[in-house]
């Protein structure tokens, strides 16, 4: 009489096949969920930068709107100045967060003050970290487009689809 302890090769192969099928179904959903989370974070980051631009131009009216590094500053012992306003965190001020690359630039100077701005956020890896690009101007409306459209100009950004509040 034989005493079988353990599993046969067929039983192990069946278990491995079931695990592979479950993984094949779950991984695309996981990627889509990560993309959705990155896009949500990107839209929130654009909102943060828009609010920071408004705060910056109120605090430093002679400078007007500015760029990302000027909105940020060091994480510890930040002393606000026009070159380092300490309004946003240093990660966002560096221009990269949650799979997106951000830029902000003040434009259209009148005297020394920039009177308009353009903020944009682009996925670092299209279809992996995000599938939409975001932008905003001084009208404080966040818009999105297909990243293949290229880097937006202010005029192009104004034509993109607005994200409802």
Which residues, 6+ apart, have CB-to-CB distance to 71 below 8 Å?
49, 52, 53, 56, 85, 87, 88, 93, 104
Output the six-digit token pair for 58.
């109120």
The per-residue pLDDT for 155 is: 85
Angle at 83 between CA 113 and CA 144, to 5 degrees: 70
Could you identify the residue written with the tokens 């487009």? 145
* pLDDT tens-digit readout, 97-129: 999 999 999 999 999 899 999 999 999 999 999
Listed by start position, the domains of the chain span 9-162
Contact present, 46 and 135 (Cβ < 8 Å)? yes
pLDDT > 90? residue 164: no
């Amino acid at each position: 009489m034989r005493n079988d302890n353990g599993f046969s090769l067929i039983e192990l192969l069946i278990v491995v096949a079931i695990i592979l099928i479950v993984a094949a179904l779950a991984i695309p959903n996981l990627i889509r969920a990560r993309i959705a989370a990155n896009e949500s974070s990107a839209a929130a980051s654009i909102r943060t930068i828009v609010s920071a631009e408004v705060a910056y131009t109120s605090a430093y009216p002679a400078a007007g709107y500015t760029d990302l590094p000027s909105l940020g500053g060091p994480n510890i012992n930040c002393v606000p100045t026009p070159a380092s306003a300490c309004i946003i965190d240093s990660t966002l001020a560096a221009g990269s967060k949650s799979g997106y690359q951000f830029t902000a630039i003040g434009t259209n100077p009148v005297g020394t003050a920039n009177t308009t701005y353009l903020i944009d956020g682009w996925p670092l890896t299209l279809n992996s970290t995000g599938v939409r690009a975001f932008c905003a101007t001084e009208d404080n409306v966040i818009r999105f487009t297909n990243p293949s459209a290229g880097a937006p100009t202010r005029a192009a950004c104004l034509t993109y689809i607005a994200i409802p509040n």
